[in-house]
A and B are shown apart, each in its own frame.
Chain A
Amino acid sequence: SAVISQKPSRDICQRGTSLTIQCQVDSQVTMMFWYRQQPGQSLTLIATANQGSEATYESGFVIDKFPISRPNLTFSTLTVSNMSPEDSSIYLCSVVAPWSGTSYEQYFGPGTRLTVT
């Protein structure tokens, strides 16, 4: 499986500030995604961050609030902007394993636990 790391692993931030989360993969991958998991909830897809194209956002998520960069095939960042307590969540990146062919097997990073006070 792909080895995926995220930085930071957790952070406590003040409302109104921004936090940039990094996702690093140990192999080149085309398809990368960002998810949010609110407390006690399941995961919700924020956006698709494929290399070579602009990130595409799911309904309810906008670029101004969650800008994403994907400079190469092993790295991406998600910024949570102008944070409020409602942004307190675990943020996870995931990748589709390139060796899984049309199975689209997907692996997740360890997550970033964000608390906004």
Chain B
Amino acid sequence: SQQGEEDPQALSIQEGENATMNCSYKTSINNLQWYRQNSGRGLVHLILIRSNEREKHSGRLRVTLDTSKKSSSLLITASRAADTASYFCATDAKAGGTSYGKLTFGQGTILTVHP
């Protein structure tokens, strides 16, 4: 399996519900970032969590990081139809204590929020 795998691959919910997406990775990381992509367009940066952080919030987004399990989750609360998109996690791996800014992406979760 690859660095930065995500589950579920697809998630379908109703407006107002919460959406949770999970990401697993294999190597030691400097940070983990979450992105949103609408219909094959550019990636929108959502949030970055450092390896020494366990939880981070930004508006309706909550990200957790468990480095012992090499996993992260993205929670979107009170979802809206406009949240419909693909969501990707990306890890910035450490190599000998140095980060090179090279991101490894998960396969992504396709979120559909029904009005």
Contacts and interface: CB of A to CB of B under 8 A. Distances in A.
B100 A45 contact: no
Given A90-B40, A106-B103, A43 B88 contact: yes
A100 B101 CA distance: 12
Contacts, number: 66
A53 interface: no
A65 B103 CA distance: 21
Interface residues of B, number: 25
A42 B92 contact: no
Interface stretch (A12-20, A66-74, A75-83, A108-116): A108-116
A105 B45 contact: yes
Contacts of A109: 42
Interface string A14-39: 00000000000000000101010100
Chain A contact patch, size range = 20 to 34
Most buried by A among B30, B40, B102: B102
A65 B44 CA distance: 28
A9 to B, nearest CB: 9
A103 B51 CA distance: 10
Nearest to B92: A104
Nearest to A37: B40
B48 A103 contact: yes
A50 to B, nearest CB: 9
Given A35-B103, A58-B102, 6 more contacts: A1-B45, A37-B40, A41-B107, A103-B48, A105-B33, A108-B45
Interface of B: 30-31, 33, 35, 40-45, 48, 50, 88, 90, 92, 99-108
Interface of A: 1, 31, 33, 35, 37, 41-45, 48, 58, 90, 92, 94, 96, 100, 102-111, 113
Top 5 A-B pairs, shortest CB-CB distance: A110-B42, A108-B43, A42-B105, A43-B105, A111-B42
